[in-house]
Amino acid sequence: MRVRVLVRLKPGILDVQGAAVQKALAGLGFTEVTDLRVGKVIEVELQTATADAARARVGEMCRQLLANPVLEDYTIEMADDLARRGAVR
């Protein structure tokens, strides 16, 4: 089972990296960018019987290690969700 975790800073926490990237984009002429936040993607391959079980296990990983609850939010996407959305590679 392939699961993708998106970890990003919670709303309201200043994302200095995002601000720097936004500024750089503006310098390249992308002045229409009004907000930009940088996060990280963690791809997990695991063996579980069902997709729900995989989601539950990865949720536990996020709570225990993958995200810092003081700073970060996370969302969990199953490979199926990604296929449906036609994720750009």
Which long-range contacts link 9-14 to residues 24+ away (Cβ below 8 Å)?
9/37, 9/39, 9/71, 9/72, 9/73, 10/71, 10/72, 10/73, 11/73, 13/71
d(CA 20, CA 14): 11
Q: Which of residues 48-87 bind other proteins (CB under 8 A)?
A: 64-66, 68, 70-71
Q: Which of residues 27-46 bind other proteins (CB under 8 A)?
A: none
Q: Is 11 helix (H, G, I), strand (E, B) or coil?
A: coil
Question: Which residue's CB is nearer to other proteins, number 2 or number 10?
Answer: 10
Q: Which of residues 3-22 bind other proteins (CB under 8 A)?
A: 13-14, 16-17, 20
Question: Which residue's CB is nearer to other proteins, number 70 or number 88?
Answer: 70
Nearest distance from C-beta of residue 44 to other proteins, angstroms: 13
Nearest distance from C-beta of residue 69 to other proteins, angstroms: 9
| Lookup: tokens for 23 | 């500024």
d(CA 54, CA 3): 8
The residues that touch other proteins, with contacts defined as CB under 8 A, are 13-14, 16-17, 20, 64-66, 68, 70-71
